[in-house]
Amino acid sequence: MRQRVFPILLAVAAAAVTTTAGAAPSSPADVKMPAGWSGSYATLPGQDKAFINDLERRTFDWFWDSADPKTGLVPDHFPGKSFSSIAAVGFALTGYGIGVERGYITRAQAVDRTLATLRFFSDAPQNASEDEATGYHGFFYHFLDMRSGRRDARWVELSSVDTTLLMGGVLFAQSYYDRDTPKEREIRQLADQLYRAVDWPWMQARKPLISMGWTPGGKFIPADWKGYDEGKLVYILALGSPTHPVGSDAWAAWCSTYPKQWGTFEGYTLLNFGPLFGHQYTESWVDFHGIRDAWSRAHGLDYAENGRRATYAQRAYAIANPGHWTGYGPDMWGLTASDGPGDVSLPSAQGERHFHGYMARGAGLGDVHDDGTIAPTAAGGSIAFAPTIVVPALMTMKQRYGRYIYDRYGFVDAFNPSFHGTPKSGRTYPGFGWADTQQLGIDQGPILLMIENWRSGFVWNVMKKNPYIRRGLERAGFTGGWLTPR
C-alpha cells in the first residue's frame, strides 16, 4: 500500500510493439527532439548526456548518503528527520549495483552495505505484537523507526506491496552478487532466506486476491490488490515463491477489472491508471518488452508499450491543460504520487484553487487528480518507455526552474508554479511558486533504476537471471521475448 499519511487505493523506444487501432501515433509531430537523436542514450548529444549522467549520479548519492550504514535502513524522505521506508530500501539495494557498474562506489562497498541490510532484515523480530516487531509472516511493516528498526507507529501497516518492493531489491542482490566469496555467498543465502519466508497465502484474506496489508489491531486491511497498478509485482513474486506460492488463479483475479480500465485518454488507447508510478514500479525491475500475458496478447501490446502510451497521454493532458495550471506544456508535465504544498485553498483568476500535501496525483481515463503539482519522477521514471519526450522534459525543468528544484541530490520531489501562498511544507519563492525541500526514496528510485535501464538495460538484465522472477511471470501466463527457452 503506497502510503505516507493515508493509503492510496488505487528498452528503448525502438523496442516498443505495434500500436493497436485507436491509439495515437508513437511519435507526435510536436515532440521536440535533439537534432539527429534516435532516442537511445548512445546517440544523445554530449551536453544532454552530461545532464542525464549528473542526474543519475546525484540520485544515487541520495540513497548512499541517506541510508544507515549499520542497518541499511533508508529514510522515507531526506534531508531531515524521517522514519524508514522499506520500499526505499528495495530501491537502494538495487541502486548499489548501479553504483558499482557506474564507478560511483566499489563492489566491496556495495557488498558491505548490502550485507548489512540483509542481515538486519534477517535478524529483525517477526511477531504479532503491536510495538516490538519489524514484521510478521515474512512481511515487513511499511515504515520502521530508523533507530530501533521496529514498527514506527501503530497506524503503520504490515504492507504487501512495500514488502514486495523491498524484495525487488533483495532478489536483485541475490542475482547480482554472484562471485564465489564468503560475503557474496552470504548475500545470496540471506536473500533467498528472506524471499522464501514471505507467506503470501497468509495475506490472501479474500482468496484468490492478495490483501493490501494487515495490522495487529485491525487485522487485514479491507482492500485487495485488484486491477492494473503497481500491484503487478506483488502477484509476480507471490506466484514465483518456491515455499509459499499463491494459486495460479490469482493473476486472473488481479486482471479481472482490466476491462473497466481499458480505454482512450487524450488520444491514447491503453490500460489506464492515472499516477505514473503505477506504470513504473514493477517495470523498474521487470522488462516487459516482448513478453505478454493473456490480456496483453488479446489486446496486441505488452506492458512496456502500455507504459509508453500512459507517458504520452500524460504529456498530451499537460498540453491540453484543462485546469489552466501555470507552466504546463509539451516539456513541462508529470503527475504521480508526490509531496505537495499542503491542504490549502487560495483565490485565483479561475476561482478558488484547492491544493494538497502528499497525494496520488494523476491523469487517466476517469482518474484525474491534479492541483498543478509536477513531480519530476513522473517523467524521469518513464525515461525507458519514452525517452524522446522525457529527456526534453527533464532538461526543461532544470533549465527553467533549476535554482529552485535541483540540488545536490537531483530534483526535489515536486514543485508547483501555480502556488503562491503559505505552504504547510516546502517553500514558496517569489516569482516562481512552491518547491519541495526534500526527496522521497520511492520517487528517487524509479528515476535511478529507469535511467540505468534506458542506458544499458542493467537492472532488467540482472533480474532476467533470477529464477523466481521467471517462475512468477510464467505462472502468470507470460510468454515470448526473453522468456522463450533457448
Per-residue pLDDT of the chain (486 residues; tens, 9 = 90+): 344 433 333 322 222 222 232 333 333 334 355 556 779 999 999 999 999 999 999 999 999 999 999 999 999 999 999 999 999 999 999 999 999 999 999 999 999 999 999 999 999 999 999 999 999 999 999 999 999 999 999 999 999 999 999 999 999 999 999 999 999 999 999 999 999 999 999 999 999 999 999 999 989 999 999 999 999 999 999 999 999 999 999 999 999 999 999 999 999 999 999 999 999 999 999 999 999 999 999 999 999 999 999 999 999 999 999 999 999 999 999 999 999 999 999 998 889 999 999 999 999 999 999 999 999 999 999 999 999 999 999 999 999 999 999 999 999 999 999 999 999 999 999 999 999 999 999 999 999 999 999 999 999 999 999 999 999 999 999 999 999 987
Give the per-residue pLDDT at 34.
58
Give the per-residue pLDDT at 33.
54
CATH architecture of the domain covering 13-483: Alpha/alpha barrel (1.50)
Largest CA distance in the chain: 66
Backbone φ, ψ for residue 52 (5° rounding): -60, -40
**Dihedral of the CA atoms 20, 21, 24, 26 (nearest 10)?**
30
User: Smallest Cα–Cα separation from 202: which of 193, 186, 213, 191?
Assistant: 213
Angle at alpha carbon of residue 315, lines to 377 and 428, rounded to 5°: 55
Q: Which residue do the cell numbers 532484515 mark?
A: 121
User: Can you list the alpha helix ranges (DSSP code H) found in 3-104?
Assistant: 46-66, 86-102
d(CA 461, CA 284): 11
Q: Name the residue type at position 176.
A: Y
d(CA 439, CA 242): 36
Q: Which residue do the cell numbers 527533464 mark?
A: 394
Give the per-residue pLDDT at 193.
98
d(CA 234, CA 230): 8
Q: Are 39 and 13 in contact (CB under 8 A)?
A: yes
User: Can you list the alpha helix ranges (DSSP code H) found in 356-409?
Assistant: 376-380, 387-405
* Whole-prediction pTM: 0.93
